Amino acid sequence: MFRILVLFFLIVWGHGVRAAPVEGRFASIDGGFLALEEWRGAPVLVVNTASQCGFTGQYAGLQALYDRYRDQGLIVLAVPSDDFNQELETAEEVKSFCELNYGLDLPMADITSVKGPKAHAFYKAVKTQTGFEPKWNFNKVLLDSEGEVVGTWGSSAKPDRGAIPRQIEALLSGS
């Protein structure tokens, strides 16, 4: 019986059983919607952001990362959130702040909840699949080209240095 169970385990898990893609549609800061499904085929880095946080300077790193890899297909999605009480009052203020101070032209969601019972469906799905929930602003979730979570990082992880660009390069190269 033990051998049968081991064989079953090896057959099922050895053939790459994968988690379901994380899906989601975010209200865009520009109006309309941003759907993760529209970006299938490309890696997507989703980052919960805030304009009045000690990590706000990471906007520059997010834009640099986007500039470096966008022509290869990378999408960087900023998701402003006031869950930690450090975001400006309105989406218009957030957009203006980001454009004036960081020259952001990467996709941005409207102000969105990222934790707890009011969390956006994307963040609820990530928590269900991986146990990861933002504990502060500028937490990062990397999706592969199929929409599956392949990496999560906390606030202190620099978006344009270290593990995050290495993982993105591996995805872009097909490794």
Encoded tokens for 152: 């999560």
What is the count of structural domains for the chain? 1
Average pLDDT, the chain: 90
Task: Report the pLDDT value the prediction gives residue 104, as an integer from 0 to 100.
Answer: 96
Report yes or no on 79 lying in a domain.
yes
Instruction: Let me know if residue 5 belongs to a domain.
Output: no
CATH number at residue 60: 3.40.30.10
Give yes or no for a contact between 34 and 25, defined as CB atoms under 8 angstroms apart. Answer: yes
Q: Catalytic one among 53, 150, 170, 172?
A: 53
Q: Is 53 a catalytic residue?
A: yes
Inter-CA distances, 117 with 18, 42, 89, 125, Å: 26, 29, 21, 12
Q: What integer is the mean pLDDT of 124-128?
A: 95
* pLDDT digit string, tens, across residues 52-71: 999 999 999 999 999 999 99
The yes-or-no verdict on residue 34 having pLDDT over 50 is yes
Domain extent at residue 98? 24-173
11-25, 82-96, 149-163: which has the minimum mean pLDDT? 11-25
Q: How confident is the model at residue 175 (pLDDT cuts 50, 70, 90)?
A: low
pLDDT digits (tens, 9 = 90+) for 41-54: 999 999 999 999 99
Residues near 151 by beta carbon (within 8 Å), at least 6 away in sequence: 140, 141, 142, 163, 164, 167
In a domain, 136, yes or no: yes
Q: What are the two backbone dihedrals, phi and then psi, of residue 61, each rounded to the nearest 5 degrees?
A: -65, -35
Whole-model pTM: value is 0.88
